[in-house]
């Protein structure tokens, strides 16, 4: 039986240093060529991705062009726009390499809405920085223009707007995604964590928020009951004592042991912590599934040799090195 895998792409899969269209497209081409290997191995593939730099650039363009005639669009719309553009880049590149490999499958990008709880505490405690840096004087003016926006000082570098980062509750289009996978298609979904929406009366309303892409990827993997949840990041393994002389890689770990390491603050916030937390939550909710954290360039090693850090619900026989 074919295994279903959800692949969560890190930012380096789409953007490295050069923010130009040509450079981003080249990064996507390289990523697509590697992802086709999963299809060749018989996986049913669902791809999700980040959009932080892209939505940040789009936000800057919106701010620069804001006027009565061309008012800036809200953040949820910008998220949907970047889902569309990145989905187009990925599907275009994947189609090329699938054709070269003699594989006849469609690649279907789905602009995805992620339902969040309107009572999530994140809405009263915005933490996710977006957009440009401002001086304190500029913030005083901005507060008069948009009193609902929140700005915070960022590590001595200036002030930035911060928005809520609520937890995902469910993927709205999940049944359509399942149908596409069952039909043998490759799906791109929930980019950038999905467009955040809340249930209000009998409708869904977009909100000014950014959902952590790793948590949404885990929710997506849970809702399709994936066999494997693969997080591709910038390092080959999760490490204990990262950056210290005692640093050592973890090859296999179970959810309970990982919980203990999280409690000891072994993983950096905004870096590895959301990834290991998302992986842990996936295996807790899908006990027969497994999560893997590795790097994009190690995808072939993962396919052929199972490289990377494997997270399971229950202990396995291979300990940390």
How far apart, in Å, do the first and last CA atoms of the chain sit?
32
Phi, psi of 314 (to 5 degrees): -115, 160
Question: How far is 57 from 311, CA to CA, in rounded Å?
Answer: 34
Length of the chain: 321
DSSP 71-86: PPPPHHHHHHHHHHHH
Question: How far is 67 from 40, CA to CA, in rounded Å?
Answer: 50
Judged by DSSP in three states, 265 sits in coil
What sign for the dihedral angle of Cα 72, 14, 176, 290?
A: negative
Question: How far is 267 from 255, CA to CA, in rounded Å?
Answer: 15
Active-site annotation holder among 44, 105, 275, 290: 275
* Residues facing residue 309 across a β-bridge: 293
Active-site annotation holder among 105, 213, 219, 280: 213
The closest alpha carbon to 59, from 141, 135, 161, 170, belongs to: 161
Cβ atoms 230, 5 nearer than 8 A? yes
Question: How far is 293 from 310, CA to CA, in rounded Å?
Answer: 7
Active-site annotation holder among 51, 87, 105, 128: 128
Active-site annotation holder among 3, 11, 52, 206: 11
Check if 3 is active-site.
no
User: Residue 29: which H helix or E strand, with range?
Assistant: helix 21-40
Question: How far is 192 from 190, CA to CA, in rounded Å?
Answer: 6
Residue 62 C-beta-side C-alpha neighbours within 13 Å: 19
Q: Which two tokens stand for residue 275?
A: 């990834």
Check if 275 is active-site.
yes
Check if 11 is active-site.
yes
The closest alpha carbon to 117, from 219, 262, 46, belongs to: 219
Kindly list the catalytic residues.
Answer: 11-12, 128, 213, 275
């Amino acid at each position: 039986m074919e295994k279903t895998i959800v692949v969560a792409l890190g930012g380096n899969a789409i953007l490295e240093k050069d923010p130009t269209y040509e450079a981003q497209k080249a990064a996507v081409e390289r990523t697509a060529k590697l992802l086709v290997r999963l299809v060749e191995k018989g996986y049913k593939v669902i791809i999700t991705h980040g959009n932080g730099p892209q939505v940040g650039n789009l936000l800057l363009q919106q701010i620069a062009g804001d006027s009565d005639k061309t008012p800036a669009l809200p953040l949820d719309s910008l998220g949907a726009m970047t889902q569309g553009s990145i989905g187009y880049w990925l599907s275009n590149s994947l189609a090329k390499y699938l054709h070269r490999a003699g594989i006849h499958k469609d690649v279907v990008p789905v602009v995805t809405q992620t339902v969040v709880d309107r009572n999530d505490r994140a809405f009263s405690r915005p933490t996710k920085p977006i957009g440009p840096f401002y001086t304190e004087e500029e913030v005083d003016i901005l507060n008069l223009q948009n009193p609902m926006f929140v700005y915070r000082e960022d590590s001595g570098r200036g002030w930035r707007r911060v928005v809520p980062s609520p937890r995902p509750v469910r993927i709205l289009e999940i049944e359509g995604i399942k149908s596409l996978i069952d039909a043998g298609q490759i799906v791109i979904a929930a980019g950038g964590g999905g467009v955040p929406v809340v249930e209000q009366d009998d409708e869904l309303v977009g909100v000014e928020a950014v959902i952590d892409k790793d948590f949404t990827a885990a929710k997506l993997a849970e809702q399709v009951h994936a066999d494997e949840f693969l997080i591709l990041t910038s390092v080959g393994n999760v490490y204990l004592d990262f950056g210290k002389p005692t640093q050592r890689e973890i090859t296999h770990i179970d959810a309970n042991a990982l919980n203990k390491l999280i409690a000891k603050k072994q993983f950096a916030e905004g870096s590895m912590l959301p990834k290991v937390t998302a992986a842990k939550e996936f295996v807790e909710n899908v006990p027969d599934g497994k999560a893997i954290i590795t790097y994009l360039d190690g995808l072939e090693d993962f396919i052929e040799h199972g490289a990377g850090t494997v997270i399971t619900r229950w202990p396995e026989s291979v300990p940390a090195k």
